[in-house]
Amino acid sequence: MALWPKKKNSEITRVCDPDLDTYAVFDDVSLTLGQRPVLKNLTLSLSEHRIGIIGLNGSGKSSFIRLINGLRSPDNGTLTLFGAPSEKAEPELPRHVGFVFQNPDHQAIFPTVEEEIAFGLTQLGAGKDESRIRARAFLAQHGCEELAANPIAELSEGQKQLICILAVLVMEPQLLVLDEPMTSLDALAMRRIFGKLMSLPQKIIMVSHDLSHFEEFDRVLWLEDSRIRMDGPPQQVLAAYKDDIQLKSGTRMELAAL
């Protein structure tokens, strides 16, 4: 979980406007990791309530969302987040952008559920006792009060991922960014987690290989070879993506038969 800097309000000059409809603007943005270009010349604006990100492995999906939460910075071009240049917005992003990892074991950092939830509240300035009280109330609000004292290591995979999501939500971010959050879950846990996500008021950007997750989204971005291959309504983008996958699979089978 990212940390929100502990400073008095008088010591912080805010540059982000979390109420802006358009929360991210990419203007010819590129990103290179090592010697490998992972994103090339992206120009687009993000304002929709639910945005899905699709593409084959290595297409740049994870790097794209890490630009939005400040874990990566562009090499070229201009990225504006909540109305501010990304380099100036970065210190504030943990307050406005909640990030959920694919593997909950890579995100949870405290031994018990209550401590994990309370940590976000302490980052917002609450005292230790107040944070514990508010953490229990928050867990009860989401039907998880009975898990408060449980060790996170002993939870099911679905419970772990839910707690990681709640640990982000307790900080009340405007935007929730998720990198394949249901990959390790069974079908029942997946349905429950997805139902929880779709009930949230936060704007959501989510990466997933399960295309069914995006059928009711507002917009889908298809990344391929570090660029935007297609951008539009789910029905159009998902249909084109499926056709492309089938075409490539058929081509590979034909080549294998030669």
Does residue 6 belong to any structural domain of this protein? no
Does residue 13 belong to any structural domain of this protein? no
Q: State pLDDT tens for residues 38-84.
A: 999 999 999 999 999 999 999 999 999 999 999 999 999 999 999 99
b/e for 18-51, b at 16 or more Cβ within 10 A?
bebeebbbbeebbbeeeeebbbbebeeebebebb
Total domains present in the chain:
1
Q: Can you give the pTM of this predicted structure?
A: 0.89
Q: For the chain, give the mean pLDDT.
A: 90
Backbone angles phi, psi at 25, to 5 degrees: -130, 120
- CATH at residue 198: 3.40.50.300
Banded model confidence at residue 251, pLDDT cuts 50, 70, 90: low
Q: State pLDDT tens for residues 166-221.
A: 999 999 999 999 999 998 899 999 999 999 999 999 999 999 999 999 999 999 99
Does residue 145 belong to any structural domain of this protein? no
For residue 245, pLDDT beyond 60: yes
Radius of gyration of the chain (CA): 19
Does residue 81 belong to any structural domain of this protein? yes
Does residue 175 belong to any structural domain of this protein? yes
Find where tokens 């300035």 sit.
125
Does residue 179 belong to any structural domain of this protein? yes
Cβ atoms within 10 Å of 236's Cβ, excluding its own: 12
Does residue 186 belong to any structural domain of this protein? yes
Does residue 91 belong to any structural domain of this protein? yes
- The answer to whether 183 and 193 have CB atoms below 8 angstroms apart is no
Domain that holds residue 38: 23-111+151-257
